[in-house]
Amino acid sequence: MKTIFIHIGLSKTGTTSLQNFLTVNHSSLLKHNIFYPIDNQKKYVQWNQHVGLIPSLTQEKLIFFSDEENYVNGEALDEFVEDIEKVEQDNILISSEFFLRLYNDSSIYLLQNKLRNYNTKIILYVRRQDEFYISTRSERAKVGFPNRISVTNAISDTCLNDSVFLEAANYYKLINRWASVFGKENMIVRVFEKEKFYKNDLFSDFLNIFGIEMDSNYEITKNLNETISLEKVQFLQTLSQYLVSYSNVNNKKRAIHQEIRNYIIQSIDLFEKGKLNEILSDGEKQQIVNYFEEGNKLLAKEYLHNEAGELFSKITPRTQSLNSYSAMSNDETIKALIKLIEQFQSNIIKTE
């Protein structure tokens, strides 16, 4: 019987980098009896991942698709099931953190039912909650989502009162939902920390799940979606008050406005003040970790067989004072915008 491995994230655990790595190394994976679908002509393949399956499972629209009906009616899922029946390899691997959008148990059961003729394993990485919080705020700023980061009162203002974050960061509850359908024995849980990666490398760690050693046959791809600076996040948040969010698929300005954000994100020597992870003091980080302590211990014991209940590394005490960066003044913002336009114009001239 074939085995299907479903990598569901979690978000902000190198998922995009892994998907890029798996796509680039498609041929090498085939040699190890693993099939990772990369054909963009398939409805279920998008952006090196398999997000197209999600609307078929939820029967709900995803904000990133402009032709949602072709996905909601189940065509993508049916196409996937038909395709894997023909695959020669014994192991099929799919990946998308959008599987976390299966908020209703009925959607997870539908997935399990569609794959009932296969062994199914669920792969996910978990990240210490304070680091997860910082990284998600960075990502939301990149696409113009409205959540804002406060330099002060970060915990009370934007974290432990954020119901979306609290739900997403409750890893034990989330994993149990999937385990209740697919079985605890089929949950593969890894910790997203360099020191805990196999050979201190994410790609090596992921391949190790399949008993594969990283060698010269595998192309090392660059890390994607890295956290940006505090200044850049705050500037993007300010600018996004006047730009269309990437989630607004019906607005014709959506794509060009995202290009503006992308140019700022990729800009060098602009908006680089302050490290985003320094908006939280050691005490605030510990407060977040403590909130999830009980669930983390149970997760470590039940899924990683760590009787001590130690899931993540301890918070490293700060050796420097907390970042004292303050928001940009209007004058600084205008000067930075002028420099940004100068860089943009210079790049146009170089490409002509």
**Bond preceding residue 280 cis, omega within 30 of 0:** no
Within-domain flag for 41: yes
- Predicted local distance difference test score (pLDDT) of residue 143: 82
Number of domains in the chain: 1
Within-domain flag for 102: yes
Residues of the chain falling short of pLDDT 70: 63-72, 146-158, 249, 319-327, 347-352
- Predicted local distance difference test score (pLDDT) of residue 71: 64
Note down the domain range covering 30.
3-128+167-208
Strand order in the sheet with 34-35: 34-35, 91-95, 3-7, 119-126, 187-191
Dihedral through CA 35, CA 38, CA 185, CA 206, nearest 10? 90
Within-domain flag for 293: no
- Predicted local distance difference test score (pLDDT) of residue 39: 97
Within-domain flag for 304: no
- Predicted local distance difference test score (pLDDT) of residue 349: 61
- Predicted local distance difference test score (pLDDT) of residue 119: 98
Within-domain flag for 302: no
Within-domain flag for 351: no
Per the listing, tokens 């393949």 go with 45
Within-domain flag for 225: no
- Predicted local distance difference test score (pLDDT) of residue 335: 81
CATH value at residue 77: 3.40.50
Within-domain flag for 120: yes
- Predicted local distance difference test score (pLDDT) of residue 54: 93
- Predicted local distance difference test score (pLDDT) of residue 86: 96
Helical (H) or strand (E) element with 122? strand 119-126
Q: What angle do CA 101, 103, 107 make, to 5 degrees?
A: 90
